[in-house]
Amino acid sequence: MLSLTHSPTTQFAWNGKIYDIDLAFDTVLLYLQMQEDKDLSPFQKWRQSCKLFFSKNQDLPDDPQFYTKAFDVIAKIITDQPYGLKEPDKNDERGVEATKQIDYVRDAGAIYASFFDQYGIDLNKERGKMHWTTFKALFDGLGPKTYFQRILAIRREDPSKIEDPAAKQELLDAQNYYAVDGSKTEEELERQALNSSSLSSMFDSLLDQSQKGGN
């Protein structure tokens, strides 16, 4: 999460050497999107993740433990929440699992417009520069009148609590229009993308490939 007393993490120390880590917001978003790509194998995702977070001009060690520890650091930075995760309401009248409410691809235009409207920030000019922790703090601080938060309000509203048939149908149409796929919250998806056991299996695969001389 964002700190007012320490600079955002951009480096990782290993065996006395310092390695640069790219944690710009657009890099993290690309990583999260890639984890949902069903056409990529776990090993391919791991290789692509390394290319995203570590620059090509660095001589990275062959030790799988380097990547295990580095991704532990990256995972903590990406998934840290200042006030903890909200537990799902088990008494929800609809009796359904909390659905994914954010899609950084589909919602890109709304997020861009909201940042520009509230902060005067052109996110296209911040690619490769704005750190993920800065982006996340500003993202979480978007006001209720911004385009993106209005969309979220539509997704979260419970149609069963609306008695007027016309108003209910209007909400259902709006929810259908702004719907995103998936049955997990964005926080769950972020944590799943950086799940330590999944990463460990990728590192084991890397080690096996290197011992066999595979690419």
Q: What's the per-residue H, E or C state across 40-99?
A: CCHHHHHHHHHHHHCCCCCCCCCCHHHHHHHHHHHHHHHHCCCCCCCCCCCCCCCCCCCC
- The list of the chain residues with pLDDT below 50 reads 88-98, 183-184, 196, 206-207, 209-211, 213-215
- Are both 175 and 118 inside the same structural domain? yes
What does the pLDDT read at residue 134? 97
Phi, psi of 18 (to 5 degrees): -110, 130
- Are both 139 and 201 inside the same structural domain? no
- Are both 35 and 75 inside the same structural domain? yes
- Are both 208 and 193 inside the same structural domain? yes
Distance CA 39, CA 22 (A): 25
What does the pLDDT read at residue 83? 81
- Are both 113 and 178 inside the same structural domain? yes
- Are both 30 and 68 inside the same structural domain? yes
- Are both 194 and 179 inside the same structural domain? no
What does the pLDDT read at residue 95? 30
- Are both 167 and 204 inside the same structural domain? no
The verdict on residue 4 lying in a domain is no
The verdict on residue 99 lying in a domain is no
| Residue 77, CB-side half-sphere exposure with 13 Å CA sphere | 25
The verdict on residue 89 lying in a domain is no
Between vectors from CA 175 to CA 111 and to CA 112, what angle results, nearest 5°? 5
C-beta neighbour count of 89 within 10 angstroms: 9
Q: Print the domain residue range for 48.
A: 11-83+189-212
The verdict on residue 24 lying in a domain is yes
- Are both 150 and 120 inside the same structural domain? yes
- Are both 19 and 59 inside the same structural domain? yes
What does the pLDDT read at residue 55? 83
The verdict on residue 100 lying in a domain is no
The verdict on residue 62 lying in a domain is yes
The verdict on residue 113 lying in a domain is yes
Q: What is the pLDDT of residues 178-195, one digit of tens each?
A: 988 754 455 555 655 555
- Are both 119 and 71 inside the same structural domain? no
What does the pLDDT read at residue 190? 60
- Are both 207 and 141 inside the same structural domain? no
User: Alpha carbon of 125 to those of 3, 121, 128, 159: distances in Å?
Assistant: 23, 8, 9, 39
Q: How many folded domains does the chain comprise? A: 2
3-class secondary structure, 138: helix
The verdict on residue 144 lying in a domain is yes
pTM comes to: 0.79
User: Alpha carbon of 77 to those of 18, 73, 139: distances in Å?
Assistant: 18, 6, 15
